[in-house]
Amino acid sequence: AQSVSQHNHHVILSEAASLELGCNYSYGGTVNLFWYVQYPGQHLQLLLKYFSGDPLVKGIKGFEAEFIKSKFSFNLRKPSVQWSDTAEYFCAVIPPAGFQKLVFGTGTRLLVSP
């Protein structure tokens, strides 16, 4: 079945470490790509999005993601994490002809230790 895969379910890092979270999707054609974050006790918020153009997308709080079409990937990166980045991160896709519906990955729980 067509889907969105996040390979890391739990990640533990120390502050100042670099972060890369993987996201792969299995849809052909034109897709729209998103990373959402859910901080403890809060609702889902958009970190960044890719629709077209420059495949390197910059989002809020120093996050960026790179769309690699040939690899069907949209990995999230941050050069130096902070304790406040502790959250759950979701990759999501609007597939071709998806009528605006988001298809989410299973999420990655990130714990940053001070």
**Contact residues: other proteins, CB under 8 A:** 4, 32, 34, 36, 42-46, 49, 51, 90, 92, 94, 99-107
Complex with other proteins: residue 34 or 74, whichever CB lies closer: 34
For 89, the token pair is 């991160």
Complex with other proteins: residue 79 or 96, whichever CB lies closer: 96
- Please compute Rg for the chain using Cα positions: 14
The values of phi and psi at residue 60, to 5°, are -80, 160
User: How far apart (Å, rounded) are the C-alpha atoms in residues 93 and 104?
Assistant: 7
Smallest gap from residue 20 Cβ to other proteins (A): 19
At 1, is the secondary structure helix, strand, or coil?
coil
Complex with other proteins: residue 17 or 26, whichever CB lies closer: 26
Residues contacting 98, CB < 8 A, separation 6+:
none
Smallest gap from residue 109 Cβ to other proteins (A): 10
Smallest gap from residue 100 Cβ to other proteins (A): 6
Complex with other proteins: residue 45 or 80, whichever CB lies closer: 45
Smallest gap from residue 114 Cβ to other proteins (A): 26
Which of 35, 84, 91 is closest to 58 using CA atoms?
Answer: 35
